[in-house]
Amino acid sequence: MTAIVSPTPLGAELEAPLLAVEAALKQLGDALARRDAAAIEQHAAELHQHLARAVQSFSEAARSGSVPAALRNRLVRAGGLLAAQRETLARGNASLDRALDVLIPSEPTGLYGAGGKAERRSFGGGSFTA
């Protein structure tokens, strides 16, 4: 026989910001899948706001009492999903940067060569001897 645990006031108080984070993560994931830049920007901003509220709520709850394990686990899963989405964006950025470097090579600065050693320009093509 399993006991039914009724939601505590603390749990109910934390549920709303966590649901908002989970919904924003889903919307952001959908926008990423569609490659919709405007929606990605909008949902990322919303997610940032919801995360700030959730972190504040969970921090206050942790100081005043214990956070229910189920809600803590959901917050951890949401953090994992956020990390996965961040990694996906980072890989996409790196891929785009490589493609742009191939299409539009950067100008050499003349300060350092590929091996990390200083490049020296020699005027006249030769070396000087004393």
DSSP result, 78-117: HHHHHHHHHHHHHHHHHHHHHHHHHHSPPPP-SSB-TTSS
What pTM does this model have?
Answer: 0.65
* Token pair listed for 110: 């003349």
Structure confidence at residue 2 as a pLDDT band (50, 70, 90):
very low
Domain boundaries, the chain: 9-103
* Token pair listed for 104: 């539009």
**pLDDT tens digits along 70-124:** 988 999 999 999 999 899 888 888 888 888 888 887 766 566 655 666 555 545 5
Q: What is the C-alpha separation between 27 and 9, in angstroms, rounded?
A: 28
